[in-house]
Amino acid sequence: MKDKPIGIFDSGVGGTSIFKEVHRLLPKEHIIYLADSKNAPYGEKNTSEILRLSIKNSELLLKMGCKIIIVACNTATTNTIGELREKYNLPFIGIEPAIKPAALNSKTKCVGILATKGTLSSKLFAETMDIFAQDIEIVEVVGNGLVEAIESGEKDAPETFKLLQKLLQPMLEKKIDQLVLGCSHYPYLIPQIEKILPSEVKIIDSGEAVARQTKTVLQSMDLLTETQQKPPVFFSNGNPIVLKNLLQRDNFEVSYMDF
């Protein structure tokens, strides 16, 4: 079991921001990544459809022999992680907006959350808000169009920058000092976001925390590999070139797969 792969799936290419942190922390592990770009974004879908897609992705990773599965999608995590853990007899690591550290570290008591509609409307998100953000003013913004821009390879386009300016304007007006990125696609927009927000605003994503949690769980189950495994492999049911460009590594295997 130790030498079996880590599985990661996302509603497209954004979860590669999570992959990079996991690969950096656990470089010996073999990782299989599924980019469900054909069905991106998940954020506009209903809960039953998100669950169906999450089960489809999980089943494929299980067939590939994965020892643990990372749900590198905020929308899929906040809507389906409980069901996935009940259904399958292996550990699932989820990703959700980092509300807790943002609330604890905010000096202005005003925090921005940029996320998908599916994440912001989920039960898990509401429960997390109730626990950690009772005394904090939260400025929620649905990032309509951002996932599509990244999936089409337009993350650095002028149109994407203009869209970000529009979306972040309510947060600027409220003078947030913490911005939570509630979608694994959004870290690829940080260079653009930093040009719009004041330098004192801290931008928070969950990649490093997910990597640490993955390592902790594998250690606790004695599932960390002890020998160098083969390099990560990536499968996309969309345009694999977009995925390859985000990885910025020529030696990773990136393939098209219809799933």
The pLDDT of 164-177, averaged and rounded, is 97
pTM attached to this predicted model = 0.92
Q: Quick one: how many helices (H) and strands (E) in the chain?
A: 11, 10
**Torsions phi, psi of 91, nearest 5?**
-75, 140
By residue range, what is the domain housing residue 187?
Answer: 99-204
Evaluate whether 192 touches 168 at the Cβ level (below 8 Å). Answer: no
CA angle 10/239/114 to nearest 5° reads 40
Q: Are residues 71 and 128 in the same domain?
A: no
Cα gap 184→58, rounded to integer Å: 18
Residues 6+ apart with CB under 8 A from 129: 99, 138
Q: Is residue 145 assigned to a domain?
A: yes
- Statement to judge: residues 39 and 58 lie in one domain: yes
Same domain, 127 and 161: yes
Q: Are residues 231 and 211 in the same domain?
A: yes
Q: Are 51 and 251 within 8 A, CB to CB?
A: no
Q: How do residues 29-87 score in pLDDT, each as one tens digit?
A: 999 999 999 999 999 999 999 999 999 999 999 999 999 999 999 999 999 999 999 99
Distance from C-alpha of 173 to C-alpha of 168, rounded to nearest angstrom = 9
Share of the chain above pLDDT 70, in %: 99
Active site residues: 73, 183
Q: What is the domain-level CATH number for residue 81?
A: 3.40.50.1860
Task: Select from 166, 183, 204 the last residue of a domain.
Answer: 204
Tell me the pairing of strands 178-182 and 68-71.
unpaired
**Do 246 and 217 sit in the same domain of this protein?**
yes
Kindly state whether residues 189 and 225 are assigned to the same domain.
no
| 57 and 78, same domain (yes or no) | yes
Asked if 232 and 187 sit in the same domain, the reply is no
pLDDT digits (tens, 9 = 90+) for 2-34: 999 999 999 999 999 999 999 999 999 999 999
Residues 115 and 158 in one domain: yes
Which among 163, 180, 204 is the end of a domain? Answer: 204
Our count of domains for the chain comes to 2
Strand partners, 178: 111, 202
Residues 171 and 235 in one domain: no
- Residue 219 and residue 192 share a domain: no
pLDDT at residue 250 in the model: 65
Q: Over the Cα atoms of the chain, what is R_g?
A: 18
Which residues share a beta bridge with 125?
A: none
